[in-house]
Structure 1
Amino acid sequence: MKCPNCGLENRPGARFCKRCGQAMEEVQGSLCPACGTANQPDARFCRQCGTSLTTASAPPQPIAELTCPACGASNKLDARFCRQCGTSLASVPSSPSADAGLTCPACGAALRPGAPFCSQCGARRTIEPVPLAPREPPLPSPPRASDAGVRVAGGVSGQMVVGDHNLVLQVEHLHGDIVHKVQQQPQVRHRSKAATSHLDPTPELLDRRTELDVAADAFGSAAPIEFHGQDGIGKTALLRHLAHHYPGGAYPQGVVYLLAQRTPVADLFQCLHDAFYESDIAFKPSERRIRDDLRGEQALVLLDDVELPRNEVESLIDVAPRCTFVLASPQRRLWARGRSIELGGLPLEDAVALVERHVGRPLTSQEQLDAQGLCAALDGRPDQLIQAAAQVCEGECSLVEVSRRAQTSARTLTTGALASLSDTARRILALLAAVKDAPLHAEHIAAILGTTDALPALQSLQQRGLAQAHSPRYSLAGTLGEELRGSWDLDPWTERALSYFASWAEGGQATELLLAEADPMLRVLEWGAGAGRWEQVLRLGRAIEGPLALDRRWGAWAQVLQWILEASRALADQAAEGWALHQLGTRALCLGEFPAARTALTQALDVRQALGDQAGAAVTQHNLDILVGLVAAPQEPEEPPEEPPRPPSPSLPLLVKGAIALVSILILSVGGWFVWTQIRPPPTPPPTYTPRPPTSTPVPAVRPTDTRQAPTPAQPRPTDTRRVPSPTPDIWGPNIEDIRVEPERYPGEALCGNQQADVSCQITDPSGVGRAALSYRYTSAEGVGTVRTEAMERTNDGRYHASLGTFPGEGELVFRVEAWDDLGNPSSSGEQGRVVLSCIPPSIEEIIIDPEYRPGKSVCYYQDLVVISSVVDSPPAEKAQFCYRFTPAEGGSPRSGCVEMERVDDQTFSAQIKAMGWWGQLSYTVEAWDGEGNASLREDVREVSMCIE
C-alpha cells in the first residue's frame, strides 16, 4: 500500500506510514484488474486508470439472433433473408425488444433505449442468449420404415474389412450396419517409413538441458520417458524439439507423433498401426493382429497430452516393445518402468530471455530487474510469461506494471489481460473454453458467434498468447481454459455450440468434413449427455457415428453409441433404442466379443419386433445369423507338416478303401447335419423390406380341402409355431462385463492391501442368471499363496458384488468372475491381475523452525526462517513440500505460499522462507510423498512476534 504523502510502499492493511507517519487510506476494496491499484470498497472505477471495477470479470454472453426455419443457420436480428439458403425471415419471430425495460446487469439501474453502456456504473449492456430452435433433419430417401421417432441424417455410407474373421462391415444409416462374411483377405503393406503428422520445429529451446540429457540416454533403447507438468509448462515444445533432434540411425522407421488427448487406447492402437502399415481397402485389424504387426517396429513414438490411466499406458507401450515412447502428460503415468520427470518453470535467466523474445526488443537495465520480479512471481511458467510480455508488446502497460500485477496474484494478471480485449475476442475465448479447449475451425467460430470479424480477433488472441493456432483451427493456450471454466458461466455457449453442430452435421456434410470437426463435436456431446440435452445428443450422435466407424475410431464410436442409447431411453424413443442396440451389437460382433454381441442384438431384435419394424428386424436377424455361424463353425486345424509321398500300400484293395471312405463321409454328413439343426435358428431371408409369412401348423393329409403348402418333411417338431424371425437359441453362458475393483490405488493396476476391496460386475443373460462366483489367488512377496472362492450377490444397483477383504502386505492378486445361467450354461471373465501395495505413507516425525523466539511457540517478524523436517520411510521419501499462511494482526491481507523442500539426507528435508515483515500468526504444513504417491501431512502454528522483551 503506497503512502499518499511520501509514496513509500507499506505493508497491506497499514494504518500509518512507517516513514512519515501519514494516516493511510483504509482500502479494503478490490484491486483494479488493469493496473493493480487498490480502490475503496464502493468504488465503481479505478482511481488510477479509470477502468470499470464492476464488469471486468463478467463472462461474455451469446448475442441474440434469428434462426432460419429451413436450414437452421444463425442470422442477425435485422436480417431479411437467410445468409445460408436465402429463405425469407420476415415471418420468423425475433427475440423480445432489447430496449424494453432493460436494466443494468451490474447495478440494476434502468438503461436508456439503445444505450450500449450503463450511465450509472459504466457496465457494458449484455443481451441474453436466445436459444436456437432445433430443426428437423431432411426426410430420408427411401422413406423411413417407422415414424416412431428415428431421425436419419446425412448420407454417410461405406464399408471396411474388420478383424480376423474376414467380416465386411457395411455402414448403412437407415436400419443399422450390416455384416457380411467374405473369403478374400485385405492386402496389407508395410511402409518403408512411418507416416506421422508434420511438426514444425520450435524456436531455440530455452533450458531443459536435464530433460534433453535424459532423452539422449534413452535413445536407442526401449525404456519409455515421461515429462509431466501442468498445461503451458512447455511439454509440447519439448516434444517438438525431440522430433527434429534424434539420432536417425537408432530409429530406422523414423518418428511418430500422436496427440492422445481424450483419445481411447483402442484408437491409439489403430493410429500406431496406420503409421506403419497401409492396405488396398479400409481395414481395421484386431488387437492381436496389431500386436503381431508392431512387434518388430523400431521408431521414436511421441505421445502428447496423455490422459490414459496407468494400466492403459503400460498396454500401449507394450504393443510396440522395440519403440521408444516419450510421453507428455499433465500428471505422472509411469511408475514401475522408465523415467518420469516433472517439468517446472524456467530458470530465471532463461525466463527473462523468453520475456525479452516476446516483448520484441532488448530490455533496459531497469526492465531487466522488473522482468526478474515478473519471472519470480510467475515461477518461470512460459505460458504466463508470454501473456505478460504480450501486454507490454501491445503497449497496454509497462513491464513494471505487469510485474506489480503478477506479484499481487497470477489471476490478477489474467484478469487484466481479459479486461483489455474487445467484445468479440472475449466471446471467442468463452466459446473455446466451452468446447473444452478442442481446436475449432475459424469458420465455425464465426458462424457460432454470428460475426464476420472473427479472424482478426483470433490473430490478436494468438499474438497475446491467449490462443494457439492449429491452422486453420484455434484453441486456448495453457491453463486459460481451466481458469475461465472456473469463473465464467459457459453453459449457454456449450449449448449454443451443441445446437449449431447438430444442425450443421445433419446438413449432408462430407465424411471428411465431419471427421475434421469430430473433436469439438465429441466434447459438446459429452456435455449434452451430462446436462440432459437428449434431443440434440440424439441428432448429433446419429450424424457422426457413421464417420467415426469408417475412420476406425471405434473407441469414440462406442462412446457415441452409448450416449445415443441413453438419449433414446430418456426420450422414450423405442425405434432409436432398437437402432442403438443393433449398432452396439454389430460393433461387438466385428470385434469378436460374441457374448456382448448376442445380448445387444437379441435386445434390438425384441424391440424392433415389438414395434413392427420388419425391415429393421430382418437386418438385426441377419447379423445374428452371422454370429451363430461364427460361434458354431469348427476351429480350423493347423496344417500338418508336409511329408514325402509314400508308395501305395498293397494291404487293402482299392475297392475296400473306397467303401471305407464313402461310409466315413456319410457318417460325418449325418452327424454334422444333426449338430447344425440343434444350434442353427430357422433360416431367415436376407435383409429385405418384405417379411416372411409365418410358418403354418401342419395338418393331416386326409383333409382334401386344405390348400396350404405342406411343411418341410424334415421339420423335427411339426407343432412349432415360433414367430418369424425366430430368436437365436440360448447356447451361451451369461455375459460378464464392466468389472470394477473399488477402491483402487491405480485404476486397473494396483490396490492397497490395508483397505477393504470389493469386486463388482454386470451380468446379464436372456435365460436369467443362476449364480455367480469370484475366485481369486493372492501371493505375498514372500511367495505364500492363498486361494479363495466367494459367492457374488446381486444388490439394489443391479450389479453383482463380492468382497476381497484385506491383505497382510505387498504381493500379487489374480482373480476371475464365473457365472451360470438358469439353463446351466457357464461363462468366465478370464483372469485379471492387480498389484497389492502396502500404501503406508511416510512418517513426518518432527518439524523444526529456526530461529525461534520462544521454542515451539513464536518466531520474530523480521527474521528469515529455516524449516527442517524429519521424514521416515523405507525406501526414503521421494519429495516434501512446505506450505504456509501468514495472517497479519490488525486485519491486514494474509499471505501464503508453497515451496518444495530440498533433500538433506534420506530422512531430512529443509526449506527457507522470507521474514513475515509484521506480527501476526503463521500456520504451516509439511507434506511428504513416497515413490508410489502415498502422502502424509503434518501441520503446526507459530505466533509471529515483535520480539520485544
Structure 2
Amino acid sequence: MRVMSHSDLFSTIETALGHVVVNRLILEECELLIGSEYGAILQEISVETRSFEPMTPSLSFSNPEVSIPEAFSALKVRRSIEVHGLGFAKIELLRSLSQKSELQAVYPHGIFYLDLSDPLEDLLQIIFEQLYRVPSDVKPSRAEIRSGLSDRQSLILLSHSTLTAAELEQLQQVLPESRFAIASVVRRFFQANTAIELSDPEVNLEPVTEPEQAVLELLATVGISLTAEQITAITNVSEFNRVIQADQGRYKLWRQYRISESWMEKVLAYVLNWVRSRPQNLIQERELLMVTVQWAANQRRFTEVIEIVRSIEGAFAIAKLWGSWSKLLRWSLSASWALEDEVTESWALHQLGTLAFCQQEVTTGYDTLRDALALRTEREEQTAIAFTTHNINQIKALIVPANSKSSKHQRRFYWIVGVVLAIVVTLSIGIIYAQQRSDDRENRSRRSQIKLMLTRFS
C-alpha cells in the first residue's frame, strides 16, 4: 500500500475534521483536538512557560445545624478526621463543618465540601480547579497539578465512597499541607488523627407498597443518587416521597435494602436510550454512566459497552476527567477483543496511546499508537491511518529537541569533521608517544655510557 505523503496526511485529516465540531484542549507541550470518530489529534504549539492564578476563597458561611465538638476541635488544630458509620448523619456533619467561619483563618486557601465518586486522578484535577483559575480550554499536566497542590493549606471535606485506603494516603501525600475530613461507611483513612463513629438512628420502616419497594430496590442496587425523572423513567413509579426524601434534588438510599440485579438491566436500557438522544448534561450524570458501563462490562454486554463508550468518551476528554476517560477506553478495548471488532480495537488503541502521551507516558503512548497503526494499516482505512500516523509523527517531533533536527547534509558535515579531528588527535598522540620513547632510549644509552666510564675509572 502506498505510504501517504505529509501533504496527503494533512489533507485527509483536514477533510475529516471539517465535518465535525472540534474541541481543543491546550496541554503543556501540545494541543489536543477532540471530536472525530477516528480519534483525537495531537497538534504542535509554541511552548511557553505558564502559571495558574490562585483563587480567593469564598466566604459564604451560615449557622450549621449539626455540631460535634470533637470534630471541630480536631480540625481547628489542623488534624484530619474520619467520620464513619451507616446513614446520612456523617454527610450532614461534613456539610455543617464547611460552614464554620472559625476555620477560615486556619485554612487560608479555602474550605471545600466535595461529594464525588471520580477516580483519584480526576479528583485531583477537580481540587486543583477549586484552588486555581484554569481556562476551560487548558488542561494542567500531572506535574503542574502536583506542584500547585503541594503548598495549599485547605480543608477538604470529602464524601467519596470508592477511594481505597491506599488512594486516600496518596491524596494526603499530594496535599501535605491540607487537612481532610473523610466520610466513610467503615474506617479506611488511617492517616486521620481522629476517628468519629456516627450513624443514623435505626428507624422501623412502615409497610411499603409494591411501587415504593421497586424504588427502594433500584436505589439500593445502583448505589448512587438519581433524579426523580430518572427513577420514574426506570421504575414507572412517580410517587415515592413517603419512603425517601430528596437531597439537593436527588434521591439516594443511605440505609441497607434488598438488591435486585434485574434493575440494572432496566438501568442499562434507560442509559442506552438516553445517550442516543445526545444529551448535553453527560458529565453531570457521569456517576450513573460509569456504574452502568462497568456493570455491562462485568456482565459481558460488550456491544452495549462499545455503543455507550463511543457516545460519551469525548465528553469526558473535554471535561478533563482523564482518569474516567481512561477507564471507559479500557472497557471498550476489552469489549472489542471479546467481539473480535478490529475497528473498535484500533480506535481504542489510538485513543489510549494519545492519552498516554498527553500524560507524559511517552513510551507507552508511542507503542500503543504503533499497535493501532498496524491494525488500521491491515484494514486499509486511509483516514484512520492518517490520524494515527499524524500522532506518531507529532510525538517524534515533540520529543526530538529542535537543535537536533538538522538536515542530513549538516549531520554528514559534522560527522566528517568529527572523524578528521579524531584522526588528527590520534596522530598527535602517536607522535608525542614516539618522541617520548626516543628520548627514553637516548637517556638510557647515556646512563649506560656513564656507568661504563665510572667502572673503568674505579
One fold, TM greater than 0.5? yes
Note if 1:446 corresponds to 2:226: no
Distance 1:470 1:609, change over 3 A: farther
**Aligned residue number for residue 192 of structure 1:** 56
Unaligned runs of 5+ in 1: 1-144, 146-154, 345-380, 392-416, 463-467, 637-665, 676-949
The offset of 1:581, in angstroms, is 0.7
CA gap 1:432/1:184 in 2 versus in 1, 3 angstroms: same
Matched, 1:178 2:41: yes
Pick closer, same or farther for the CA change 1:201–1:544 going to 2, 3 Å: farther
Which residue is 1:498 aligned to? 268
Q: 1:469 to 1:176 in 2, by over 3 A?
A: same
Relative to its length, the structure with more strand (as a share) is 1
Q: For 1:591-602, what aligned pairs fall within 5 Å after superposition? A: 591-602=359-370
Aligned counterparts of 1:448 and 1:331: Cα–Cα separation in 2: 31
Q: Quote how far apart the aligned CAs of 1:668 are.
A: 11
Aligned: 1:247 with 2:103: yes
Q: Secondary structure at the match of 1:503?
A: helix
Name the aligned partner's letter for residue 522 of structure 1: M
- SS of residue matched to 1:283: coil
Secondary structure, aligned partner of 1:325 = strand
The answer to whether the Cα contact below 8 Å between 2:74 and 2:81 also exists between their aligned partners in 1 is no
Q: Distance in 2 between matches of 1:383 and 1:277?
A: 40
Does 1:550 pair with 2:324? no
Q: Is the 8 A contact 1:234 1:382 kept in 2?
A: yes
CA 1:543–1:228: 2 relative to 1, 3 Å? same
1:324 aligns with 2:324: no
What is the alpha-carbon distance in structure 2 between the residues aligned to residue 217 and residue 332 of structure 1?
17
Tell me the equivalent position of 1:484: 258
Deviation at 1:444, TM superposition (A): 2.0
| Residues 29-51 of structure 1 deviation map (CA, whole Å, 9 limit, x = unaligned) | xxxxxxxxxxxxxxxxxxxxxxx
Q: For 2:108, what is the secondary structure of its paired residue?
A: coil
Equivalent pair of 1:227/1:329 in contact (CA under 8 Å): yes
Could you tell me which residue of structure 2 aligns to residue 670 of structure 1? 410
Shift of 1:278: 1.7
Partner of 1:861: none
Deviation, structure 1 residue 619: 0.1
Displacement after TM superposition at 1:617 (Å): 0.9
**Larger proportion of helix:** 2
Answer whether contact 1:194 1:275 (CA < 8 A) is retained: no
SS of aligned partner of 1:175: coil
Task: Give the superposition deviation at 1:501.
Answer: 0.8
1:161 aligns with 2:26: yes
Aligned-residue offset at 1:471:
3.2
Q: Are 1:216 and 2:73 matched, yes or no?
A: yes
- Please point out which of 371, 380, 384 is paired with 2:202: 384
Contact in 2 for aligned 1:609/1:617 (Cα 8 Å): yes
Query: What's the % identity of the aligned pairs?
Result: 28
Structure-to-structure mapping, 1:504-583, within 5 angstroms: 504-510=274-280, 513-583=281-351
1:884-919 deviation line (CA, Å, top 9, x unaligned) = xxxxxxxxxxxxxxxxxxxxxxxxxxxxxxxxxxxx
Native 8 Å contact 2:64 2:97 kept in 1: no
Match of 1:152 in 2: none
Q: Alpha-carbon deviations, 1:139-180, whole Å to 9, x = none? A: xxxxxx9xxxxxxxxx77522122x32x21111231111111
Distance 1:568 1:281, change over 3 A: same
Structure 2 matches for 1:35-184, cutoff 5 A?
Answer: 157-162=22-27, 164-165=28-29, 167-183=30-46
Distance 1:635 1:566 in 2: 41
Alignment of 1:238-637 (within 5 A): 238-245=93-100, 246-261=102-117, 263-335=118-190, 337-344=191-198, 381-385=199-203, 388=204, 417=206, 420-435=207-222, 437-449=223-235, 451=236, 454=238, 456-457=239-240, 459-462=241-244, 468-478=245-255, 480=256, 483-485=257-259, 490-510=260-280, 513-633=281-401
Output aligned runs, 1:725-736, within 5 Å. Answer: none
State how 1:790-805 maps to structure 2 within 5 Å: none
Is the alpha carbon distance of 1:340 and 1:615 closer, same or farther for their aligned partners in structure 2, counting shifts above 3 Å? same
Structure 2 vs 1, CA of residues 258 and 189 (structure 1 numbering), >3 Å: closer, same or farther? same
In the alignment, which residue of structure 1 is the partner of 2:429?
A: none
- Aligned AA (2:228): A
The letter of the residue matching 1:182 is I
Q: CA deviation at 1:257?
A: 1.5
Evaluate the alpha carbon distance shift between residue 200 and residue 558 of structure 1 in structure 2; reply closer, same or farther with a 3 A threshold: farther
Deviations 1:601-637 (A, max 9, x none): 111111111111110011011111111123322699x
Superposed CA deviations along residues 810-839 of structure 1, whole A, max 9, x for unmatched, are xxxxxxxxxxxxxxxxxxxxxxxxxxxxxx
Residue 194 (structure 1) shift: 5.9
Q: Find the aligned partners of 1:673 and 1:242 in 2 and give their Cα distance.
A: 70
After superposition, the C-alpha distances for 1:203-259 in whole angstroms (9 at most, x for unaligned) are 344xx44x33xx4144253x4222233x31732122122112242221222211122
SS in 1 for 2:243: helix
Question: In structure 2, how many angstroms separate the alpha carbons of the residues matched to 1:558 and 1:312?
Answer: 17
Rate the CA distance shift 1:635–1:300 in 2: closer, same or farther, 3 A.
farther
SS at 1:179 equivalent: strand
Equivalence for 1:928: none
Q: Which of 58, 61, 65 matches 1:203?
A: 65
CA–CA separation in structure 2 for the residues paired with 1:429 and 1:330? 19
Paired AA for residue 143 in structure 2? R
Retained in 2: the 8 A contact 1:302–1:326?
yes
The 2-side partners of 1:249 and 1:620 are apart by: 52
The one-letter code matched in structure 1 to 2:32 is L
Corresponding residue number in structure 2 for 1:228: 84
1:294–1:319 Cα contact (<8 Å) kept: yes
Partners in 1 of 2:278 and 2:45 — Cα distance?
31
Change over 3 Å in CA distance of 1:310–1:423 after alignment to 2: closer
Considering only CA atoms, is the larger Rg found in Structure 1 or Structure 2?
1
Measured in 2, the distance between the counterparts of 1:591 and 1:276 equals 21
Q: Distance in 2 between the 1:674 and 1:516 partners?
A: 58
Partner residue, 2:452: none
> Which residue of structure 2 lines up, in the alignment, with residue 5 of structure 1?
none
Deviation at 1:260, TM superposition (A): 4.1
- SS, match of residue 316 in structure 2: helix
Cα deviation for residue 474 of structure 1 reads 1.3
C-alpha distance after superposition, 1:423-451 (max 9, x if no partner): 3222222222232x2111221222223x3
Q: Secondary structure at the match of 1:612?
A: coil
Contact persistence 1:188–1:278 (CA under 8 A) = yes
Secondary structure of 1:227 counterpart = strand
Q: Which residue of 2 aligns with 1:706?
A: none
Quickly say closer, same or farther: Cα 1:156–1:577, change in 2 above 3 A: farther
CA distance in 2, matches of 1:267, 1:674: 48
SS at match of 1:333: coil
How many residues align? The count is: 396
Query: Equivalents in 1 of 2:182, 2:358: separation in Å?
Result: 31
Supply the distance in 1 between the matched residues of 2:413 and 2:250 (Cα, whole angstroms): 61
The alignment partner of 2:26 has SS state of strand
Residue identity matched to 2:381: D
